[in-house]
Every structure is written in structure tokens, then in C-alpha cells.
Amino acid sequence: MVSLRLKKVLRILFTFLFGKVSSRIMIYLRLIQKVKGTKLHFVAVLSSRRLEKYGVFISLKASLGDNLRFPHPTSIVIGEGVYIGSDVTIYQSVTLGGRVIGDRKKGNYPTIGDGTVIFAGAVIVGKVNIGKNCVIGANSVVISDLPDNSVAVGAPARVVKILDTSKSV
């Protein structure tokens, strides 16, 4: 009888070897999150470098929430101080990074709320707070805070709509 743990390991291995690129990237990300800051930190460093093969750079110092999704994982950059909540979807060519103010860079990174969707080519820089359940349009440049349930587009991004969350599906 095969144990449940062994089945899980075999499923992950099969996905890693034969699955979609986005699934492989998620396996690397979860591995990095599990081992960074432990005795196996070198595995996190190696895995981080391996992600660069796919055109994805994610700093080991970034905080990533559960159920992070990359439907088209190419040219994604996530800087060292970025915090990403749960259930966030990030499409291709997105940059989440810091902004240097004078000679200080520490603390100038975005915070992305739970349930946010960031479409292709969006750039979010600086100490920006993105609320929960936001939608950021393609090629938008976000340099200021966004409230919960908002849709933002443009360069610089501006809120064009507040989503109605009172309707039940």
C-alpha cells in the first residue's frame, strides 16, 4: 500500500517533469518558501537561479502568499521587499519593485492585497498599498495606493471603477 505522502511526492515529481511551465515554476516557488532561512537555504538560492531560466526573477526576501498564480510566467520581476497576499494572479511582463528615494531604498516596496489580479505589462513601484480584490489593467503604472475592490488603468494608473462585492454569485 502506497502512503499518501509518497503519492503526493510522486504527483509533484510527475508535475515537475511533465507538467506545464507554470506548474514547474510554482513548485520552485513553494520549495524556495519552505527552505529559505533554514539549513537548506542553498537549495532556495539554486531554485531561485533556476527560475531565471524561465525569465522569472523573484527575490528570496519577497513575501509570497498562498495560491499565487502565474498563468503566463515570462518576464516577471518581484523585488526584495514586496509583499504579495493570497490568491493573487500575475500575468506576463509584470514588475513589482522598489523605488530609490535619495540614497534610501529600504521600505519602498509595494504591498499587494489578497485576490488581486495584475494583468500583462503592469508596473508597480515604490511604497504602494494595493487593496484586496483589485484589478490592475495591462501596461498600467501604479505609483499610488489603490483602495479595496478597485479597477485601475493607465500610466500613471487611476481608479476607473469600484467593484460591487455585495452581489452574490
Tens of pLDDT along 53-82?
A: 888 898 888 888 888 888 888 899 999 889
- Checking if the pLDDT of 143 tops 80, the result is yes
The residue type found at 34 is: K
Same structural domain for residues 124 and 72?
A: yes
Same structural domain for residues 67 and 119?
A: yes
- Number of structural domains in the chain: 2
Same structural domain for residues 119 and 41?
A: no
Listed in sequence order, the DSSP H helices in the chain are 4-18, 21-35, 41-51
Same structural domain for residues 79 and 148?
A: yes
* Whole-number CA gyration radius for the chain: 17
Structural domain of residue 82, as residue ranges? 55-163
User: How sure is the predictor about 103, in pLDDT bands with cuts at 50, 70 and 90?
Assistant: low
- Global model pTM greater than 0.95: no
At 50 the pLDDT is 84
Q: Count each helix (H run) and each strand (E run) in the chain, helices first.
A: 3, 14
Q: How far apart are CA 82 and CA 125, in angstroms?
A: 10
Question: What are the C-alpha distances in Å from 144 to residues 64, 74, 93, 127, 155?
Answer: 21, 25, 20, 8, 11
